[in-house]
Amino acid sequence: MLDSDALSDRISEILEAHRGLEGPLLPILHAVQEAFGHVPQAAIPQIAAALTLSKAEVHGVVSFYHDFREAPAGRHVLKLCRAEACQAVGADAVAGRIKAALGIDWHETTPDGRVTLEPVFCLGLCACGPAAMIDGRLVGRCDEAVLAEVAK
């Protein structure tokens, strides 16, 4: 865990790197999440001050988008596509078996902090579904065998 000074310094660097951009908030939030694995509450006042926004406005943006997390995820993030093309090839059943094996529902993390399970609505792999993304890596025609990749 970073102490608050280190966090503040890192965010200052990120803010500095995004100076001069038009509409910089999303790129900044992506960079913050990349650096910390989530968007820490403590970052919000600092970002707001730098962009002359209110804290509420920054919080509103963070909470609007599915990608931004307010708490760290598990060691692995498993995203399963729930959209129609994947449903047409059995995505619901695959998701059901994976949920049962992990003992968690959508948006939850296993108690050991190993896996966070998230729905995603389309990865653009609609002709080779069911589609999944494991820690950023794409998987086509996925089934519960993907669990092996999040076993540790």
**Positions that interact with another protein (CB under 8 A):** 21-27, 29-30, 51, 57, 60-61, 64-68, 83-89, 120-129, 131, 133, 136, 138-141
Length of the chain, in residues: 152
User: What's the min distance (Å) between Cβ of 18 and another protein?
Assistant: 10
Contacts 24+ apart (CB under 8 A), 93-102: 94/130, 94/142, 94/143, 94/144, 95/119, 95/130, 97/143, 97/144, 98/144, 98/146, 98/147, 101/144, 101/147, 102/147
Q: Is the CB of 5 or the CB of 44 nearer to another protein?
A: 44
User: What's the min distance (Å) between Cβ of 101 and another protein?
Assistant: 21
Q: Is the CB of 111 or the CB of 137 nearer to another protein?
A: 137
What is the tally of helices (H) and strands (E) in the chain? 6, 4
Q: Is the CB of 85 or the CB of 147 nearer to another protein?
A: 85
User: What's the min distance (Å) between Cβ of 4 and another protein?
Assistant: 25
- Could you give the 3-state DSSP secondary structure of residue 122? coil
User: What's the min distance (Å) between Cβ of 111 and another protein?
Assistant: 25
